[in-house]
Amino acid sequence: MAGRGRVYGPGHFGLIDLGDGVEKISMHYEADMDRSGRSVLGIQPVRWQDGWPIAGENVAPGTYEIQSQRAGTALQLAVDPVRIAFDPRRSFMAKPSDPVAPIANQTLDESRATWSVGEIEVDLGDYLIRPQQQWTVIPVEGAGGAMGAPYYRIAVAGTERVLAVAPGDRLRTVPRFTGAAEQLWRIDQLIDGSYRIMPRQQRDVRAPRALVAIGRSTPALARFDPASDAGRWTFQRP
């Protein structure tokens, strides 16, 4: 452990085992430079490497591909894909002597030509750098959190459209973020370095549901099983 950013002097290690492959480190920082240099409580994820505990990380704000560890596929809007502008004569049929040039990624405006203006469901698909596969993950100020991690909103990058829980435990996206519990997500790093994603809204706190992958193409909410990779996700920069 070491000081980071504006906090210095971590000490007094404690291990908090939350079960289901989630462990946390508790400590105090000697000085928080954003709080008049006062000592403050710190809680971070812990992961295990070569039999030793090391400090993990909460998900940093940013834009990511959210990939299923089980399926290798990416969380995405369930929309009809728009063909990417591509001339096969410049690639598959090109001569070795022909000049090469970058092909631009598909833009958000090009992609959302087929999107509904209302709710849109989600599924999993091969990652192709498409806008509907990129998610901006941001802590929600004032929403609280759980064991050192904030609650997040998960939005399609460049839009206000956010991931939410629908009646009947369905997954959907809605056009606007309102701060409702069904739009808030808890993201915990597991001891292997992957992440568990759970909605704040839970029907039964004794059996909390998490985002899981069923096969290669179907995300769902179900009880998290630490012995399975179905509920393990990675956050990868596009």
The full length of the chain comes to 238
- 53-109 per-position pLDDT tens digit: 898 999 999 999 999 999 999 999 999 989 887 788 888 888 889 888 888 899 999
Could you write out the DSSP letters of every residue in the chain?
---BTTEEEEEEEEEEEEETTEEEEEEEEEEETTTTTEEEEEEEEEEEETTEEEE--PPPSEEEEEEETTT--EEEE--PPPPPP--GGGTTT--TTS-----PPPPHHHHGGG--SS-EEEEEE-----GGG-EEEEE-TTS-EETTEEEEEEEETTSS-EEEEEGGGEEEEESS----GGG-EEEEE-TTS-EEEEES--S-TTS-EEEEEETTTEEEEEE--TT-STT-EEEE--
Please give the angle made by the CA atoms of 209, 161 and 173, to the nearest 5 degrees: 40
- 68-78 per-position pLDDT tens digit: 999 999 999 99
Determine the Cα–Cα distance for residues 156 and 159; give it in Å rounded to an integer. 6
Provide the 10 A C-beta neighbour count for residue 88. 8
* Domain limits, the chain: 7-55, 62-80+106-236
Residues 6+ apart with CB under 8 A from 127: 65, 67, 73, 74, 133
Sign of the Cα torsion 26, 222, 145, 4 reads positive
Q: Which phi and psi angles does 132 have, rounded to 5°?
A: -75, 0
* CATH fold of the domain at 62-80+106-236: Trefoil (Acidic Fibroblast Growth Factor, subunit A) (2.80.10)
Q: What is the pLDDT of residue 91?
A: 83
Q: What is the pLDDT of residue 38?
A: 95
Question: Do the Cβ atoms of 15 and 46 come closer than 8 Å?
Answer: yes
Q: What is the pLDDT of residue 100?
A: 86
Task: State which residues of the chain have pLDDT below 50.
Answer: none
Q: What is the pLDDT of residue 152?
A: 98
